[in-house]
Amino acid sequence: MAQTPSLAEESGSTPFSSSQSITLRIARYNPQHDSAKSFMEFQVPYEKWTTVLEAILEVKKHFDHSVAVRYSCRQATCGSCGMIINGKPRLACFTKISELNSNVITVEPMNNFPIIRDLAVKFERLFDTHHKIKPYLIRDDTEITTNTKEFLQSPEELEQYIQFSNCIKCGLCNSACPTMATDSSFVGPQALAQAYRYVADSRDKGKDNRLKIIDDSHGIWRCHFAGSCSQVCPKGVDPAMGIQLLRGYMLGFRS
Amino acid sequence: MTNQDENKEGIGGMINPRRYGIERVAYLLMRLSGLGLLAYFIGHIYETSTILKGQIGWNEFLALTQTNAGHAILAIVIAMCVFHTVNGIRVMLGHGGVGVGKPARPDYPYIPASQNIRHKMGIYSAIILAAIAMMYGLAVMFGE
């Protein structure tokens, strides 16, 4: 009779038995008592399918449990494990070591976000700017009220915004943005793309309200269409497209 | 909150062109050419103001542009001017939502539609035209 391993046996097992290994350089920084960032190096075995997050968890399990990292779903859905991997913002759970083509993997906290510790950063500003653009349908009536039906929408109308509703608020776009690198007050590509998501929704009636919010010196006009946000988005949201289409509304090219 | 507390990349990160493809290179060149043209504009106003010192003062200053260094600077100005104009037209069209693609359900590997071949061609065209204009300028100025 086959025996299934107990939970204790599973958690104690070593997941990688490969002869291949990489050097994982992890940025260590505690703003409470460190004056600058430093790096610790670990030799981590990996398989073809091993992700960077799994390698970090391997380090936590076998070498140094004090490494601070935020993660949850491990399938690019929760948006928790964004970090700079070999110089570019990526999701650690969505980046395989084998696709980086390097024997040295350097992981750092995302740029343009205050560091809590090591690889974990604060998301307060991202959530604040997200809330600022009113990320919900604005209209006087509601689907919940008795005697009203659900708001109807054609497939074509859905196509106008469905891409932008894939945003998981991981913050990679804000980390890659060159304007965010210098302007602390810029609303950022994440919030601007979400503003477009609701403006383009045929059920929404809050277009003028939202356009007024982003029509600011640190709002949509600070985007210079560098496109880095779209290149790093792990969900295909393409914030650069949303922002330019949104600006089309403001310039009168779209209605 | 200081820059270090905010973990901002700063100007070094803003002008780093190596990580995000030709679009980020164009972003950097646009800023550099804009600043260069601003500096030229200020210098040009100063140069033309020398006419207030009479013809001798004007001729003396104009002679500076007839040197090898003057010719090289003018050639760079020509390149900056052409790049800034052509890329500026591309960016202005993009800012109006022209040529940035249409929203659609994304499929893996999620190639962003806004970073399409038309915009890449626009950037390469701006660089090539700037290089041609600069070479033509050099040929005219150093040709004799």
What pLDDT digit, counting tens, does each position of B58-107 carry?
Answer: 888 888 888 999 999 999 999 999 999 999 999 999 999 889 999 999 99
Question: What integer pLDDT is reported at residue A15 of this predicted model?
Answer: 55
Q: Is residue B100 less than 8 Å (CB to CB) from chain A?
A: yes
Question: Which of A121, A156, A190 is at the close of a domain?
Answer: A121
Q: Are residues A84 and A150 in the same domain?
A: no
Q: Are residues A211 and A234 in the same domain?
A: yes
Angle B2-B5-B8 from CA coordinates, rounded to 5°: 85
Report the C-alpha gap between A137 and A118 in whole angstroms: 37
Buried b (16+ CB within 10 A) or exposed e, A137-156: eeeeeeeeeeeeeeeeeeee
Is A3 a domain residue?
no
- Enter the tokens of residue A22: 């990489």
Question: What integer pLDDT is reported at residue A253 of this predicted model?
Answer: 81
Q: Which of residues 151-170 of A touch B (CB under 8 A)?
A: 159-164, 166
Question: Which of A76, A100, A121 is at the close of a domain?
Answer: A121
Question: What integer pLDDT is reported at residue B51 of this predicted model?
Answer: 86
Is B78 a domain residue?
yes
The alpha carbon of residue A158 and the mean position of all alpha carbons in its chain are separated, in whole angstroms, by 23
Is B123 a domain residue?
yes
Cα nearest neighbour of A159 on chain B: B104
Distances (CA, A) of B44 to A7, B61, B74, B79: 77, 11, 11, 17
DSSP B52: G
**CATH for A213:** 1.10.1060.10
Mean pLDDT of B17-37: 96
Question: What integer pLDDT is reported at residue A205 of this predicted model?
Answer: 93
Other CB atoms within 10 Å distance of the CB of residue A131: 12
Is A2 a domain residue?
no
Q: Is residue A95 less than 8 Å (CB to CB) from chain B?
A: no
Q: Are residues A101 and A131 in the same domain?
A: no
**CATH for A38:** 3.10.20.30
Q: Are residues A86 and A142 in the same domain?
A: no
Residues of chain A with pLDDT under 70: 1-18, 145-148
Report the C-alpha gap between A79 and A224 in whole angstroms: 25
Summarize pLDDT for B108-134 with one digit per residue, the tens: 889 999 999 999 999 999 999 999 999
Question: Which of A105, A121, A137 is at the close of a domain?
Answer: A121
Q: Are residues A113 and A163 in the same domain?
A: no
Interface ipTM: 0.88
Q: What is the span of the domain harbouring residue A185?
A: 124-251
Is A136 a domain residue?
yes
Q: Are residues A101 and A134 in the same domain?
A: no
Q: Do A112 and B105 touch (CB under 8 A)?
A: no
Q: Do B103 and A163 touch (CB under 8 A)?
A: yes
* Rounded (10°) angle between helices A207-214 and A189-199: 160
Summarize pLDDT for A86-100 with one digit per residue, the tens: 999 999 999 999 999
Cα nearest neighbour of B5 on chain A: A114
C-beta separation of B18 from A183 below 8 A: no
Q: Are residues A144 and A191 in the same domain?
A: yes
Q: Do A244 and B23 touch (CB under 8 A)?
A: no
Q: Are residues A87 and A66 in the same domain?
A: yes
